[in-house]
Amino acid sequence: MKHKQFKEWLQLSLYQELSEQERTILEDHLLACESCRSEMQELKKFHELLAYRRPLEIQEPLIQDARRTLRLRILAEAEQRSLWTKLRGVMDGMISRPVQAALAGTATLAVGILVGYLVFKFPTENNFTLARLSSASTAMDAGEPQITNIRFVDRNAQSGDVEFTFETITPMHIRGNVNDERVQKVLARALVSDQNAGTRLRAVNMIGTQMEQKSNGVPKLETEIKTALITALLHDRNLGVRREAINVLKNYLPDPAIVHAFLNVLANETNTGLKITAINSLDLSKYENQPMNQEILEMLKNKAKSDDNNYIRIKAKLALQEVQ
């Protein structure tokens, strides 16, 4: 491995960004390299100084001035009347209360008829999705809708009228087998869209359990699930999620899309462990007389010459020797 790589690892080790294997390699190198060992000591001292540095103190007059400005802006905003409020003020002066009530009732009825027509004429995406997920092997129950993200638009203190917008979230309860296609599609959606890394990790683990339960060869991998796994492998910021995704996908080689994903890992992945898994999974004997064979050969030649990791360079050379 190049000495430059070890220099980069020194800083990463202080932030706990190295894998277990990389940390072990770095510790062995520090025992033998006086230069890196000295630099590591300097970095530790520097980080200790940063830890003891006191935050900048903001002067009290500046805080008071900011508070005063904020109060003035809040008062000015509260005094401003919206266009709707101004129109209602004009209407109050021109149209009597009974006529206003009649017009409001007519408008409400018209809006209700229009909304009802649109809702019942065209099924919503949510209804379509729920119907598609329902099956004899998958039990699904809908919980009470939850209201969130409420925004108040207008309020009339005299009449008591209020206008606001909000969003609703309906919690769903699903029970089914992990091998059920519909359950896997829900897990695939969670894998690519959930904000919680722990949830994404559990989703990819559940998708991968079908490999442990297979009976007659490798089961078919649905396009949506395969796309979710490849997306997680190439773009998820959590190393654990990427590692689980590659462990599932390697069982479906030599699928062309997965092969290209593994080549992308070899070209762009920063974690050595994932690159090792990718190169160990690409067996050239499975790709003879296939268009992607040349792409794999070119990648192996490139890695044999220029990869920073010594193991990957050796592995690439051995793979090339087997086909020559």
Per-residue pLDDT in tens (0 to 9) along the chain, 324 residues: 677 777 777 877 877 778 888 888 888 888 888 888 888 888 887 777 666 555 556 677 777 777 777 777 776 666 555 555 655 665 555 555 555 565 666 666 666 665 555 444 444 433 334 344 444 444 445 556 667 777 777 777 677 777 878 777 777 777 777 777 778 788 888 888 888 888 888 888 888 776 555 434 555 567 788 888 899 999 988 888 999 999 888 888 778 888 888 888 888 888 888 888 888 888 776 766 666 777 888 888 888 888 888 888 888 888 777 766
Residue 146 has φ and ψ, to the nearest 5°, of -110, 135
Report yes or no: 40 and 60 within 8 Å, Cβ to Cβ.
no
Report yes or no: 33 and 41 within 8 Å, Cβ to Cβ.
no
Cα separation, 13 vs 36, whole angstroms: 13
Q: What's residue 113's pLDDT?
A: 65
Report yes or no: 200 and 238 within 8 Å, Cβ to Cβ.
yes
Nearest one of 213, 292, 221 to 259, comparing CA atoms: 292
Report yes or no: 200 and 194 within 8 Å, Cβ to Cβ.
yes
Q: What single string gives the DSSP state of each residue in 189-218?
A: HHHHH-S-HHHHHHHHHHHHHHHHH--SSP
Q: What's residue 195's pLDDT?
A: 84
Cα separation, 272 vs 308, whole angstroms: 9
Q: What's residue 42's pLDDT?
A: 83
Q: What's residue 105's pLDDT?
A: 64
Would you tell me how many other CB atoms lie within 10 Å of the CB of residue 306?
9
Residue 225 has φ and ψ, to the nearest 5°, of -70, -40
Q: Cα–Cα–Cα angle for 294, 295, 298, nearest 5°?
A: 85
Cα separation, 239 vs 197, whole angstroms: 10
Please give the model's pTM, rounded to 2 decimal places.
0.48
Q: What's residue 299's pLDDT?
A: 85
Cα separation, 135 vs 197, whole angstroms: 29
**Domain boundaries along the sequence of the chain:** 3-49, 92-122, 178-252, 253-324
Contacts of 284 (CB under 8 A, 6+ apart): 293, 296, 297, 300, 319, 322, 323
Q: What's residue 144's pLDDT?
A: 61
Q: What's residue 125's pLDDT?
A: 38
Cα separation, 188 vs 128, whole angstroms: 18
Cα separation, 188 vs 195, whole angstroms: 14
| Burial class of residue 179, CB neighbours in 10 A (0-12, 13-18, 19+) | middle
